[in-house]
Amino acid sequence: MSDATAGASGLIDYEATLDCVHCGLCLPSCPTYQETGRESSSPRGRIYLMRGVAEQRLPLEGLVAEEMQLCLGCRACESACPAGVRYGHLLEGARAEIDARGARGRLRRLSERFLLRNLVGRRGSLRGFVAGLRLYQRSRLQAFMRKSRLLWLLPPLARADALLPRISSPHRPPAVVPALGRRRGRVAFFSGCLMPELFGATNAATVEVLVRNGFEVVVPEKQGCCGALQAHCGDLRGAERLRERNRLAFPSEGIDAIVVNSAGCSASLKECGDSLSGAVRDIAEFLADVGIEPPRGRLELRVAYDDPCHLLHGQRIADAPRALMRQIPGVELVDLPGHSDCCGAAGIYNLTQRRMASRLQDRKIEALRRTRPDVLATGNPGCLMQIAAGVRRARLPVEVLHPIDLLARAYAKESQLDF
């Protein structure tokens, strides 16, 4: 087996596939296995396929490539795996190998890579693009397009349009935001690529809550996309370039943490093992660790929390967001069935694997229908968009928010109390 990877780019981490002992405990955790019942659509099966490719017992083209694309990369299997298989890492390698060997559609691969590198990966172009979208929404063109069903002439556009959240104003904070009251420390805020453009209000809420709790917030000007989406799609080189930019942008000293409010980004930043990784904290994790001043403003809301996969499975953070929301007076946390299952967003999965994504979205919506909360809280932009789109389609009276939005609201209500 010495020449197991001959003729290949060797991007599949063969040694890491051997950590899997084929026990099968991952099967019930895997959304695509639950849906299809096929061994090849299970984590164990996919690892076996990777191994088969590396051992040159199986071609990469065809089924193997398809199964690697059908995987959500939700990493629920990692939470179930007793052998500690690094499935997310294996998947990235396999996808990179697929692209290196040109084992999937060239057009799709190149357009995906182009958009992720040049639209998502570049702040300037993303800003311009989202500004256009915002105009599209506010000019009521969107309402017209949706109503007139003109969009359905171009299904990919219709799908993308259905996912669009109500775009708030972009968030452009100053480079330093001073702490309010007693100063407890200094953190750097990783603002993300999509977050400041599509979820400006949530980014603003994040900074407000940090500042309100005594943290000075620095927002490095030159930062950008974390590279997670690119890496998940097999573009390891593109991801590395983005990481390099962030390494240069963030200060290495004088801050307590680099705080991130997007679970996919915090997982990716923690795992890339560079100079930033050790300092990265998800916002919920950070606040729960340092402790917050409980807000005095009341929110009479039933809140269901849905775990973002890359927070729960990628970072093993389950209690922190719940603990934070429990500190809001009036909030009643209700258990959402299937809260640890993927919603189908999975980065750009809901655009590339529409059918599976909407099956998983349906499950989430069904759970919401049964639970009937006022608010569905989750801490990742992809999940926020995916669940909100499902809620809109099902016409459920559920508001979809980031946990930090709720905290900020509760703090905002305090000022009303003070008058």
Q: Which CB sits closer to another protein, 243 or 313?
A: 313
Q: Rounded to whole angstroms, how far apart are CA atoms 351 and 364?
A: 17
Q: Which CB sits closer to another protein, 61 or 374?
A: 61
Q: How far is the CB of 75 from another protein (least distance, A)?
A: 12
Q: Which CB sits closer to another protein, 64 or 151?
A: 64
Q: How far is the CB of 47 from another protein (least distance, A)?
A: 9
Q: Using an 8 Å Cβ cutoff, are 264 and 317 in contact?
A: no
Q: Which CB sits closer to another protein, 15 or 418?
A: 15
Q: How far is the CB of 72 from another protein (least distance, A)?
A: 18
Q: Which CB sits closer to another protein, 50 or 346?
A: 50
Q: What are phi and psi of 178, to 5 degrees?
A: -70, 155
Q: Which residues bind another protein (CB under 8 A)?
A: 1, 15, 18-28, 37-40, 42, 44-45, 48-49, 52, 57-59, 62-64, 67, 78-85, 316
Which residues, including other chains, have CB under 8 Å from residue 310's CB and lie 6 or more apart?
A: 74, 75, 263, 264, 266, 267, 268, 380
| Segment (H or E) for 375 | strand 375-377
Q: How far is the CB of 13 from another protein (least distance, A)?
A: 13
Q: How far is the CB of 376 from another protein (least distance, A)?
A: 24
DSSP 65-91: HHHHHH-----HHHHH-TT---HHHHH
Q: How far is CA 282 from the centre of its chain?
A: 12
Instruction: Enumerate the β-bridge partners of residue 127.
Output: none
Q: Using an 8 Å Cβ cutoff, are 293 and 213 in contact?
A: yes
Q: How far is the CB of 266 from another protein (least distance, A)?
A: 19
Q: Which CB sits closer to another protein, 26 or 345?
A: 26
